[in-house]
Amino acid sequence: MSSARVALVTGSSSGIGEAVARRLADDGYRVVVNSARSVEAGEKIAASLPDAVYLQADVAQEQDCHRLVRETLDRFGRLDVLVNNAGTTRAIPHADLEAATPQVWRDIFAVNVFGTWQLTVAAMPALRSSGDASVVNISSLAGNRPAGSSIPYAVSKAAIEHMTRLLAATVGPRVRVNAVAPGLVETPWTRGKDFFAPIAEQVAQLAPLRRVGLPEDVAQAVLALLGAAYTTGQVLLVDGGSHLR
Known catalytic residues are 153
User: How many C-beta neighbours within 10 Å does residue 128 have?
Assistant: 13
Residues in CB range of 115: below 8 A, 6 or more apart = 10, 59, 60, 65, 84, 86
9 bridge partner residues: 33, 83
Residue 35 φ/ψ, nearest 5 degrees: -155, 165
CA–CA distance, 121 with 58 (Å, rounded to integer): 15
Residue 138 φ/ψ, nearest 5 degrees: -95, 110
